[in-house]
């Protein structure tokens, strides 16, 4: 289980980067951030996810050069470079709010997740979580990695609610 504080930092960084209208931003490269970034990419919030060094790669490098493998010598300098998307001058990722907190982990089972994805609130051990609205995605940390709530429901997996993105 990853650090909830790390999730909160990543969510606030992504929200600030999209508000600043950045085309490319980076987060620390670790396995959990990679799974989270790929889940956001599958949901359409990012145009690209690329692992590189401390300096941003060019568009040509991202398209043609495979990422450098991570070794013990370069692991500390690796970053995940995320291409942010915009539609009609507005960021696709406008809000990223953390659901679970370090003092209150929100775990869901399949029945509760089904209620949340249909838009109904669900009462969990940590409190009440509002259902999804139009254009929102909720991400769940499951035993199969980080999945969007609808993906987790299709695979019949519960887990820890991470964040909600719109």
Q: Is the pTM of this model over 0.85?
A: yes
Q: Which tokens sit at 63?
A: 């398209």
What is the distance in angstroms between the CA of the first residue and the CA of the last residue of the chain? Answer: 24
DSSP state of 77: G
Comparing CA positions, the residue from 158, 78, 89 lying closest to residue 117 is: 158
Burial degree of 156 (CB within 10 A; 0-12, 13-18, 19+): exposed
pLDDT tens for 108-162 read 999 999 999 999 999 998 899 999 999 999 999 999 999 999 999 999 999 999 9
Mean pLDDT (the chain) is 94
């Amino acid at each position: 289980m990853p650090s909830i504080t790390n999730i909160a930092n990543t969510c606030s960084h992504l929200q600030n980067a999209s508000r600043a209208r950045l085309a490319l931003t980076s987060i620390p490269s670790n396995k959990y951030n990679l799974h989270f970034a790929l889940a956001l990419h599958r949901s359409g919030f990012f145009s690209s996810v690329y692992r590189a060094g401390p300096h941003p790669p060019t568009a040509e490098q991202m398209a043609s050069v495979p990422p450098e493998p991570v070794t013990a010598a370069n692991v500390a300098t690796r970053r995940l470079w995320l291409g942010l998307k915009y539609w009609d001058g507005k960021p696709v990722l406008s809000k990223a709010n953390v659901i679970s907190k370090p003092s209150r982990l929100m775990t869901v089972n399949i029945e509760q997740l089904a209620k949340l994805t249909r838009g109904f609130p669900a009462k969990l051990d940590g409190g009440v979580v509002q259902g999804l609205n139009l254009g929102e995605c909720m991400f769940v940390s499951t035993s199969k990695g980080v999945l969007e709530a609808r993906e987790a429901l299709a695979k019949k997996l519960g887990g820890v609610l991470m964040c909600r993105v719109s």
